[in-house]
Amino acid sequence: MTEDQQRHARSFGGVADAYDRGRPTYPADAVAWLVGTEPVAVLELGAGTGKLTERLVALGHEVYATEPDEAMLEVLRRHLPDVPTSASGAEEIPLPDRSVDVVVAGQCFHWFDAERALPEIARVLKPGGVLAAVWNQRDARIPWVRKLGRIIGTQEDLTDPLAAVAASSDFGDVETGSFKHWQVVDRRSIQDLVRSRSNVAVLGDSERERTVADVLALYDDYGRGMDGMQLPYVTACYRAVVVDRPEPAPTPVPEPTVPITVPGSASGARAGDDPMTDSAHTLPRVAAGLTGLDDDAGVLLIDFR
């Protein structure tokens, strides 16, 4: 991630409340496509103020939400106090190996350091688990939406948003889905929508206020006032199944060394300490197979072979 991208990624905390008020939610059918309708364990990365989290919880999923920005996370916790959360990023996930069924990222995958994040995501996914990503994008086929875009610009390049996933050995083929929905905006909420965008949030005060004023002029030109108007979105969805790898074999625990007393030696000497002492493989061994004995069940059998 470049220094400029980092500056944009860190800009959301200062506009957390505007983000919560102005950003659209996600259509229910898109969320169902991403994570399914049967309740599963879901890790949400970059959860922000909880726009997607609310949808996941409504579908009955067990959600663990992470967000690196404490200001954004505070809004989420206020809305969804029962959802476990942590202030962490995609590059260092505070969950055990193979612990979740789905990892989902809403409106944020482009901020990740994919080289570090993808192995972490693969690590926490169960066999057959899914990485899912989603973005709400304005439908610029509508003339007034195109005019809005010319004023506020864009904050991410989504030409091939999951190229790193497709190239990764940790995941299979990337599937895509597309869903349409509308957000009702009025004169107040469209200001929050504009202020919450990273490419606007990083502007100087005067330039930022000029951008907001230009958007209000566009809105007023359509004569809708406080009645509001509908802002159309296309919700772009992506998912890929983690490549299953065998669990690493447990590290063998070395057997403790047992002191062996050798006749004629000092008490507690070990076989091999004295060059004149037989090595361990020549000493008596306990015979295997003590079960199934009748009269001698309590007798220790010694094999002198």
Select from 102, 58, 95, 108 the least CA-distant residue to 80.
58
Tell me where in the chain the CATH 3.40.50.150 domain(s) lie: 3-144+157-181+231-241
Q: Residues 6 or more apart from 8 whose CB is under 8 A from it? A: 155, 198, 199, 201, 202
Out of 1.10.3720.10, 3.40.50.2020, 2.60.40.420, 3.40.50.150, the CATH code matching 3-144+157-181+231-241 is 3.40.50.150
State residue 15's pLDDT score.
Answer: 77
Q: What is the model's pLDDT at position 159?
A: 75
Lowest-pLDDT range, 29-43, 51-65, 98-112, 183-197? 183-197
Provide the pLDDT for residue 224.
Answer: 66
> Cα separation of 11 and 155, whole Å?
12
* pLDDT reading at 273 higher than 80: no
> What is the value of pTM for the model shown?
0.75
Q: Which two tokens stand for residue 167?
A: 């190239």
Dmax (CA) of the chain: 108
Query: How many angstroms separate the first and last alpha carbons of the chain?
Result: 68
Q: What is the mean predicted confidence (pLDDT) over 36-56?
A: 97
154: tokens are 């864009």
Average pLDDT over all residues of the chain = 81
Instruction: Return the structure tokens found at 203.
Output: 């502007």
More confident position, 8 or 251: 251
Whether the pLDDT of residue 125 is over 70: the answer is yes
Say what the pLDDT of residue 13 is. Answer: 54
191 pLDDT tier (thresholds 50, 70, 90): very high
Give residue 158's pLDDT. Answer: 67
Reply yes or no on whether the pLDDT at 294 is more than 60. Answer: no
pLDDT (mean) for 11-24: 78
Q: What is the pLDDT of residues 160-182, one digit of tens each?
A: 899 999 999 999 999 999 999 99
- For residue 201, the model assigns a pLDDT of 75
Residue 50's closest CA among 78, 22, 87, 89?
78
Tokens of 101: 């069924």
Q: Please report, rounded to a whole number, the percentage of residues in the chain having pLDDT higher than 90.
A: 58
Residue 140 has pLDDT above 70, yes or no: yes
Spatial contact of 105 and 237, defined as CB atoms under 8 Å apart: no
C-alpha triplet 283, 286, 290: angle, nearest 5°:
165
